[in-house]
A = this chain, B = another copy of it.
Amino acid sequence: MRLVIARCSVDYVGRLTAHLPMAPRLILMKADGSVSVHADDRAFKPLNWMNPPCTVRESAGDDGSNLWTVTHGKSGEMLILRIEEFLHDSSHELGPDPGLQKDGVEAHLQELLAEHITTLGDGYALIRREYPTAIGPVDILCRDAEGGTVAVELKRRGDIDGVEQLTRYLELLNRDPALKPVRGVFAAQEIKPQARVLAHDRGIDCVTLDYDELRGIEPDTPRLF
């Protein structure tokens, strides 16, 4: 990883064109071949960047400045850095990262809810996760206490899009005489008001999930307290 602080101007030509006037910035060159140009704001987002695989060619500009031409072979995108002054330049060997472990993404929610399907109500029974349809897999298909089929759409954050998605599934599933009638449940850790209204309007039930609670009643990971 090479860290360069430099006065530079940047031009990007690719999916759009962009220009950055000359100013001091951080140029971050990673071992994966990526290049990104950061200002002192915009949080973790760079002003401009190039994703690997790309090649960096160094040359001299007319005025003695350094030209770094970063080219993305496949797409033809280009990033051109004109560097007027180097304020810092250091390289560091980090080695491969052990990697990030995440907990609490939608996949985990699905596992947990499938295991504790009665969270949706007494007498519920799992049919299967990722139930395939022509327009994509339904997150969870199950039966309620009365034996009716229930399609569950699962989101971390329940937005209006999720309701639309579930609506499409329900429309399709209800064309199948073997399943019909299929009811819908929209389950999420957080459900936006408008999504709730739309769901209600379409006869879809909403359930907010408590991840910690689901994990708390998880039998495979006993706790010490």
Contact = CB atoms under 8 A, between A and B. Distances in A.
Nearest to A93: B24
A208 interface: no
A98 B20 contact: yes
**Within the oligomer, what is the number of copies of this chain?**
2
A44 B47 CA distance: 10
A126 interface: no
A16 to B, nearest CB: 4
B92 A24 contact: yes
Contact of A43 (B19, B51, B90, B105): B51
A145 interface: no
B34 A94 contact: no
Interface in A76-122: 87-88, 90, 92-105
Contacts of A98: 20-21, 23
A118 to B, nearest CB: 25
Nearest 10 CB-CB pairs, A to B?
A: A16-B104, A39-B97, A34-B43, A31-B40, A36-B44, A32-B41, A40-B94, A44-B49, A21-B98, A17-B103
